[in-house]
Structure 1
Amino acid sequence: MTRILIGLLAILLISLISLGGAREWASSTNEDAKKSKWVGTWTASMQAPAKDGNSHEGFKDQTIRLILRPHSDGDKMRIRLSNEFGSLPLSMKEVRVAVSKEGASVDGETDQVITFNGEKSFTIPAGEKQYSDPVEFPVDADQNLSVSLYVDKETGPTTWHQRSTQTVYMSEPGNHASDAEGSAYKSKEEAWFWLDRMEVIPDDSVSGAVVVMGSSIANGNASTLNANRRWPDYLANRMNEEDSKVNMSVLNAGVSANHLINSELGKGENALARLERDVLSQKGVQAVILHEGINDIRHYPEYDSEQIINRMKQIIKATHEEGLSIYGGTLTPFKESGMYTEKGEQTRQEVNEWIRTSGAFDAVIDFDQALRDPDDPEKFLSTYDSGDHLHPNDKGYKKMAETVDLSVFE
């Protein structure tokens, strides 16, 4: 009996030691995770495929070379690919990253393979998204990067982001992911396919990310192609200046033609429907800038200001529930643009008055005041007008970024 009791006590002691070791191991793992804090350095909001064109037709035995500009430095990076709007499994045979050079060419000395779950080739089921493994790769906010994707099998209609204001290159048949020269890339388009996130582990000076939720003005429509002159790009440049008191990544969740209220093909899911995926779930997000609503007014003149404001209130509430600050941008002028109406202008003025005076947002960014003509406040100042009387030009986008008071992020 004594021997049995001694044996039971020994087993119990070993079990307690093992449990203690397990708890210590878990604690150590969690501590490592805390030290590796990912922050988004670039994003593109994904959309369903169009009714025609490359996104509808898809790809097979082709390499797509995407070009992007990160907004925060880091020595380690990872990406996420999305097949959310695809109807077929997405078969990737190879994915590579490199510093971009002119056109479709890349710096071959920087070229690296990106694996997913340790594998060079992988498949993402329809409707799913997948993160890559971390890559020891120096990301510089002053350099464009290239991500090359070789798909071997028929993709079917693709998940994409249209109107990227950045040229993307598509190759002749075959795997050209590791090609340093761009000669194999015979066609191009302004769109990003499948890639919806790039994240880095930044240094301690970076205090997270601010996400811009918007439509074509956030997306940079009418800005110079391939020049990274969207207003979130200019804002990121301000954040990255050496003497800036605020060092944050800026993530652009703009979608051309997007609406606050309705979801339509070619215009992306409405702002509230995509808020969690495109904004609130971003790694390192600390704050949100909402600048959206002009398309609702233009396309649905029957909407009154109360309907626009109620949708903004829903977005504000959802953002605050995540413990995040949200800043409201006033709606910019659109007189003399297509679909302008006097009723729509009255609605814009009422919405802007609410944004400025309600206190619903944590702070207000008065884009309207910054860009309007003081002699005709319903119109853009010509200096900032792209010519369509709806979108700013490069100077206008720069002015928008300069209008943001960085102290609200301190």
Structure 2
Amino acid sequence: MSFPWKRTTIVGAAIALVAAAAPAASAATPDHRPAATAWQGAWAAAQHHPLSDGGSGPGWFLDGFANQSVRQVVRVSTGGSRVRIRLSNRFGVEPLHVAGATIAKAGSGAKLKPGTLRALTFGRRLSATIAPGRELTSDAAGLPVSALDSLSVTLYFTKPTGPATFHDLGLTTAYRASGDHRFDPSGTAFAGDTSNSRYYLAGIDVDGQRTARGTVVAFGDSITDGYGTATNTDNRYPDELAERLVSAGKRFGVVNEGVNGNKLLGDSTCYGEKGVTRFHRDVVAQPGVRTAIVLLGTNDIGGGGYPDFGCGASAVVTDRQLINGFRALIRTAHAHGIKIIGATLPPMKGAAGYDTPRNQDVRAAVNRWIRTSGEYDAVVDVAAVLTDPATQVLRAEYNSGDQLHPNDAGARAIAAAIDLATL
């Protein structure tokens, strides 16, 4: 069973960690109003530990790669005249040797569009080594891209990588082939060996005359990550938000930093670092970050009382603990000139393991605070949008089947509820 949001231990003092100083990798100006040619986030995926089980589907994270090429397709939310990629060995225990990398506009499947293939370099070298716990940004490559273009990034690994830093719920097909196929436009060698996760690829940034006016970071758990939406459709709510912005002629990048099963206050080797810790890396450090949308906390509430499934014991949380955690995120965002928008927690009536009288009381108290406290800069009332007022369950037309996760239509409804002026 996939647990859309999960649970683990709460350490009261850990909330203070989010306010600690951390190096910011943003290319924005000090008040986070990006300059016209500043790097902007166009796509991202939050990185986490390699799992001890199969994750959300067949994956390559435990064995890693050796003398293999990995091709990953992503859709960027905004355009520019230059691109660069960010790679992560955040959770690796050994140095990661990247023998080479390329980027191109994606064709169908693993194919590349003719004339768009570019070699990527790292400090003007074709190969690079990333130390454990570190990330690396490539040099800029001249490749004009438009908002909502799909790009293919191909990484080649000669030496065994060991277990991979990755993003489990990719919801987009990744391809693997033996040998070096960085410059293979046909994609034929990649046939038959696929995964729906992301490997080492943490972000794609753009720069140039058509660059966005800032980056919006969607920060959350499985609903942000897209659980319940269809594979290979780019129908997660941040994707739908990016489409709305493009249609409205508003030049903002949108990046998705959701993690399936994630919690605000509890770490998990299966479902990522707690939100109060990873907020620095996944929000503050995003290039050009201007606004963050926080949809997180349901797993903290629903996790209490669950047994340990191998990802850490489940703590019971109070509304006050969650509110203090949200306040820590707000303080950190404001300290870095970032606008922060709070999303109310969606309905969980009828959801196995989540729907208890106590959990409903905690959720109601948290949502009341989000709506009325005025501590967030703006509010998206996701609960009101998704809840059937007659039954208090997730609306049938938005239900992916588990009474908890919205489907494609539900993700579209969340994006539609966001006032674009607040971004």
Match of 2:181 among 176, 180, 185: 176
More helix, by proportion: 1
Aligned residue number for residue 253 of structure 2: 249
Distance of 2:212 and 2:66 partners within structure 1:
40
**1:118 maps to 2:124:** yes
SS of alignment partner, residue 376 of structure 1: coil
Aligned residue number for residue 142 of structure 1: 148
State how 1:199-210 maps to structure 2 within 5 Å: 199-203=205-209, 206-210=212-216
Aligned residue number for residue 281 of structure 2: 277
RMSD: 1.5
**1:397 maps to 2:373:** no
Query: What whole-Å deviation, never above 9, does each CA across 1:261-286 have from its counterpart, x for those lacking one?
Result: 00111100010110111101111111
Aligned residue number for residue 22 of structure 2: none
Query: What whole-Å deviation, never above 9, does each CA across 1:176-216 have from its counterpart, x for those lacking one?
Result: 11111222113111111111011111436732011111000
Aligned residue number for residue 15 of structure 2: none
**1:333 maps to 2:331:** no
Aligned residue number for residue 264 of structure 1: 268
Aligned residue number for residue 361 of structure 1: 376
Distance of 1:368 and 1:135 partners within structure 2:
42
Distance of 1:61 and 1:147 partners within structure 2:
17
* TM-score normalised by L of structure 1: 0.88
Distance of 1:58 and 1:192 partners within structure 2:
12
SS of alignment partner, residue 116 of structure 1: coil
**Aligned partner of 2:160: which letter?**
E
Match of 1:212 among 211, 218, 222: 218
Give the deviation of 1:142 after TM superposition: 2.6
Distance of 1:394 and 1:202 partners within structure 2:
33
Unpaired segments of 5 or more residues in structure 1?
1-32
Aligned residue number for residue 233 of structure 1: 239
**1:350 maps to 2:354:** no
Distance of 2:352 and 2:76 partners within structure 1:
33
Identify which of structures 1 and 2 has the higher relative contact order when contacts are C-alpha pairs closer than 8 Å and 6+ apart: 2
Distance of 2:36 and 2:363 partners within structure 1:
46
Aligned residue number for residue 320 of structure 1: 334
**Aligned partner of 1:369: which letter?**
A
SS of alignment partner, residue 227 of structure 1: coil
SS of alignment partner, residue 97 of structure 1: strand
SS of alignment partner, residue 312 of structure 1: helix
Aligned residue number for residue 9 of structure 1: none
**Aligned partner of 1:91: which letter?**
H
Aligned length: 373
Unpaired segments of 5 or more residues in structure 2?
1-33, 54-58, 306-315
Is the contact between residue 36 and residue 209 of structure 2 (CA under 8 Å) also seen in structure 1?
A: no
SS of alignment partner, residue 422 of structure 2: helix
Where in structure 1 do 4 or more consecutive aligned residues deviate above 3 Å? Answer: 33-36, 202-205
**Aligned partner of 1:134: which letter?**
A
Structure exhibiting the larger radius of gyration computed from Cα positions? 1
> How many percent of aligned residue pairs carry the same amino acid?
36
Q: 1:257 to 1:333 in 2, by over 3 A?
A: same
Give the deviation of 1:170 after TM superposition: 1.1
Distance of 1:263 and 1:238 partners within structure 2:
33
Is the contact between residue 39 and residue 202 of structure 1 (CA under 8 Å) also seen in structure 2?
A: no
SS of alignment partner, residue 200 of structure 1: strand
Distance of 2:35 and 2:317 partners within structure 1:
46
Distance of 1:70 and 1:304 partners within structure 2:
38
Is the contact between residue 106 and residue 113 of structure 2 (CA under 8 Å) also seen in structure 1?
A: yes
Distance of 1:60 and 1:234 partners within structure 2:
36
Aligned residue number for residue 198 of structure 1: 204
**Aligned partner of 1:51: which letter?**
S
SS of alignment partner, residue 373 of structure 1: coil
